[in-house]
Amino acid sequence: MARPAKILVFGATSAIAFGTAKLFARDGASLYLCARDEEDLKALSADLTVRGAKEVGYSVFNALDKGSIIRAVDDCLKKFPELDGLLIAYGTLPDQGLCETDIEEMRRAVEINFTSPAIILTYIAGHFEKKKQGVIAVISSVAGDRGRQSNYVYGAAKGALTTFLSGLRQRLGKSGVNVITVKPGFVDTPMTAGFKKGLLFVGPDVIAKGIYRAVKTGKSIAYVPWFWRIIMMIIRNIPEKIFIKIKL
């Protein structure tokens, strides 16, 4: 599958997004970066240019502000009207206990992890549909494969995102656009700083390489690393009567 030449990256300052952007910069792609902090965006833009990116633009955006999202997409399409790639790589891992008692915390978790990416995808889908080519990669999570008491608010939001992407993939597939659902397992990033790191944890560069490979090979669903596909298949198939007695 042809690699995208002009890529919009939301959540560009995250370790996974930046790692992925570096790989595409090495290929000479043009990149448009979106994140919260302008100084960070300037620094990343300079870095990616040195690494080989043909052209780099950026916009500051707020994931909880619909107007901010729309402006960022519009600004990108003005600079790169032939945009043929999109990566959405932001999210938040909420405190499950707090979400169980604080409605606003629960709402915020769902908005950042599902509603906000869905707004981007809904707004930009028509561009890809008309272009009749391109690739969209979105980071979901293995947590969305089955609800677990330890993180079911996060899992529910990611599960909704996974379902949304499945429908979008079916819609845009008719136009030659590939939609990739990226499902990482445990990743050693600032978002998991408070977690005890076990054998299943990997660095963000492992996920970045997995995304890059998925784009190149035209995958639809990418568990990263690959063994999470097997782990989650087992978890999904545990009978509910047994599952509710397990602490996960």
Q: Tell me: the pLDDT tens digits for 85-116?
A: 999 999 999 999 999 999 999 999 999 999 99
pLDDT at 145 over 80: yes
Please give the Cα distance from 234 to 127 (Å, whole number): 38
In what order do the strands lie in the sheet containing 30-35? Answer: 56-60, 30-35, 6-10, 85-88, 134-139, 177-184, 221-224
- Give all domains of the chain, ordered by start, each with its CATH number: 6-243 (3.40.50.720)
Residues 6+ apart with CB under 8 A from 103: none
How far apart, in Å, are the Cα atoms of 161 and each of 23, 44, 94, 111, 141?
Answer: 25, 27, 16, 11, 9
pLDDT at 196 over 90: no
pLDDT at 195 over 80: no
pLDDT at 156 over 70: yes
pTM summary value? 0.95
What pLDDT does residue 149 have? 96
Q: How confident is the model at residue 1 (pLDDT cuts 50, 70, 90)?
A: low
Q: How confident is the model at residue 217 (pLDDT cuts 50, 70, 90)?
A: very high
Q: What is the pLDDT of residues 35-52, one digit of tens each?
A: 999 999 999 999 999 999
